[in-house]
Chain A
Amino acid sequence: MYVAVKGGEKAIDAAHRLLKEERRGDPAIPEITVEQIGGQLSLAVDRVMTEGSLYDRELAAIAIRQARGDLIEAIFLIRASRTTLPRFGYSTPIETSEMLVRRRISAAFKDMPGGQILGPTFDYTHRLLEFGAETQAAEAPVAMAPADIDRAMPRVLDLIGAEGLIEPASAQPSEPQDLTREPLSFPAGRDLRLQSLVRGDEGFLLALGYSTQRGYGRSHPFAGEIRYGEVSVSFVPEELGFEIEIGSIDITECEMINQFKGSAEVPPQFTRGYGLSFGQCERKAMSMALVDRALRAAELDEEQTAPAQDEEFVLSHADNVQATGFVEHLKLPHYVDFQAELELLRRLRREAQGLHQEAAE
């Protein structure tokens, strides 16, 4: 029997008003602006855009403020917001080789053409809390090089690709599948896996990537190249029929070099793992590259023993909006279900006691 229970409206309304007041904090302190979040909490914005699967800095900043800094809640808000907008089409693939690079490093080659550009990074910081950081910033202005450097940044993996030491980047010129148009089904192609990993939870992918390093699906990676910077986005409007640039986005790309694969026809070659994020989500892009490589186990005829190699396990649990929905639904009223279980348990206990008494007699 289904029993509808009403009566929560007033409490819910009051709870939401209380939430607003809590979110605002001390009214004597000015409210944080969307521009401040966009400018000063930019990595939070980047994560919300990547996992919310929508590149719009302003919307992400609004979501972060509304969610009181709870990034998964903000990602949820972004996913909900995108469903209210029509889809105009697909961009032409961005060309990361033509990136306006802000950071570009390789852990495999020291002296590659273009060099190691550290850019804005937490690497090599001492992880000491900086009290009074505002005044320090004013004292140490940004360093400027006396002259511009060669901005051409050839892809590091092309250096060994030219010799055939690494597999090609893949090219089956097929129309990629789209997770937002049809639900995920297995086995998934690499196109669908990559799309699903980009929007996957950073923490989940970090843990899975880490597990591959610790022996659960070995892949022996080197960070071949990590680059972060600006790429232009182009689109072919139906009414024009030619490609036009609609703007540019910041992205992070990670290419991992992993151990070998060869066959009767092809001598051993390094294999690739690929990671990409909106903004500067470097940890995410690296984790994604590890998991992408692990998920290629079947394609590369490797033994599948570890969770990171199980695409159904990884892809079905990577989305934090789905995950939080199912975990958090447990706090919604289950009164009737629970009554049914209570009833069942009482009956089982009565039967068990009856059996005891019979045995005693």
Chain B
Amino acid sequence: MSLLASARPARLNALFPRDEFPQFVYLRKPETGLVMVRGRQGGTGSPFNIGETTMTRCTIRLADGTVGHAFVMGRSHEHAVTAAVCDAVLQGPQGSDLAEKLVAPLAEERSERERQRALQNAATKVDFFTMVRGDDD
């Protein structure tokens, strides 16, 4: 669910286009609202409210009765619908096919993106060296 939530809607759509969706009905049509994001005082202490983020939720049911949920940051209804359908399909017999076709590339892309960033950041790591004074005997 984390991969589905963090994927770009356009990328999800490319990997799993709408015309490949199995038949489904909405139990809850996509709806956008707010989630208050919480942090911790001093980073590790008691919680406090930072500010809100947009989130879209959606629940669907496949013809075989499997229910799929999606809760994804942002306002894209398309993203939430795709994530909900994926959630349901991944639980059923077609799950392993979809995992291979969709989840595996998403996981790989995410870890590659994180690796690229880490390499960029590593290049900005300070390498301290000490100047030795010449007049110390």
A244-B71 contact, Cβ under 8 Å, with A55-B52, A82-B52, A148-B115: yes
Question: Which residue of A56, A116, A174, A240 is within 8 Å of B125 (Cβ)?
Answer: A116
> Which A-B residue pairs are the 3 nearest by beta carbons?
A169-B42, A247-B73, A145-B122
A55-B51 contact, Cβ under 8 Å, with A116-B126, A145-B123: yes
- B121 interfacial contact with A, CB 8 Å: yes
CB contacts under 8 Å to A, within B44-94, are 44-55, 57, 59, 69, 71-75
Contact between chains at A54 and B46 (CB < 8 Å): no
A173-B31 Cα distance, complex, nearest whole Å: 32
B residues sitting closer than 8 Å to A (CB atoms) are 1-2, 5-6, 31-55, 57, 59, 69, 71-75, 114-126, 128
A244-B125 contact, Cβ under 8 Å, with A58-B75, A88-B34, A172-B46: no
- A218 interfacial contact with B, CB 8 Å: no
- A290 interfacial contact with B, CB 8 Å: no
Question: What residues of chain A lie closer than 8 Å to B126, measured between beta carbons?
Answer: 115-118
Contact between chains at B34 and A85 (CB < 8 Å): yes
Contact between chains at A195 and B49 (CB < 8 Å): yes
Most B C-beta atoms less than 10 A away, residue of A102, A151, A247, A255: A247
Name 11 interchain pairs, CB-CB below 8 A, sorted by A: A88-B57, A96-B39, A101-B121, A145-B120, A169-B40, A169-B45, A190-B48, A195-B51, A240-B69, A244-B2, A274-B43
Contact between chains at B46 and A174 (CB < 8 Å): yes
Question: What residues of chain B lie closer than 8 Å to A262, measured between beta carbons?
Answer: none
Tell me how many residue pairs across A and B have CB atoms closer than 8 Å: 225
Contact between chains at B122 and A148 (CB < 8 Å): yes
A residues sitting closer than 8 Å to B (CB atoms) are 49-50, 52-56, 58-59, 82, 85-97, 100-103, 110-111, 115-119, 142-145, 147-149, 151, 155, 157, 168-174, 176-180, 190-192, 194-195, 198-199, 232-233, 235, 237, 239-240, 244-249, 251, 253, 255, 272, 274, 276, 278
By beta carbon, the residue of chain B nearest A168 is: B45
Q: What is the distance, in angstroms, from A89's C-beta to the closest C-beta of chain B? A: 6
Question: What residues of chain B lie closer than 8 Å to A94, measured between beta carbons?
Answer: 37-40, 50
Question: Which residue of A91, A142, A272 is within 8 Å of B120 (Cβ)?
Answer: A142
Contact between chains at A88 and B35 (CB < 8 Å): yes
By beta carbon, the residue of chain A nearest B43 is: A96
Most A C-beta atoms less than 10 A away, residue of B5, B31, B72: B5
A147-B125 Cα distance, complex, nearest whole Å: 12
Known: A116-B126, A168-B42, A170-B45. 10 other contacts (CB 8 A): A50-B51, A54-B51, A89-B36, A148-B122, A155-B44, A170-B46, A176-B47, A237-B69, A237-B71, A240-B69
Q: What is the distance, in angstroms, from B29's C-beta to the closest C-beta of chain A? A: 14
Question: What residues of chain A lie closer than 8 Å to B123, measured between beta carbons?
Answer: 142-145
Contact between chains at B46 and A173 (CB < 8 Å): yes
Most A C-beta atoms less than 10 A away, residue of B48, B72, B118: B48
Q: What is the distance, in angstroms, from B95's C-beta to the closest C-beta of chain A? A: 18
By beta carbon, the residue of chain A nearest B115 is: A148
Q: What is the distance, in angstroms, from A19's C-beta to the closest C-beta of chain B? A: 26
Question: What residues of chain A lie closer than 8 Å to B46, measured between beta carbons?
Answer: 170-174, 176, 191
Question: What residues of chain A lie closer than 8 Å to B117, measured between beta carbons?
Answer: 100, 102
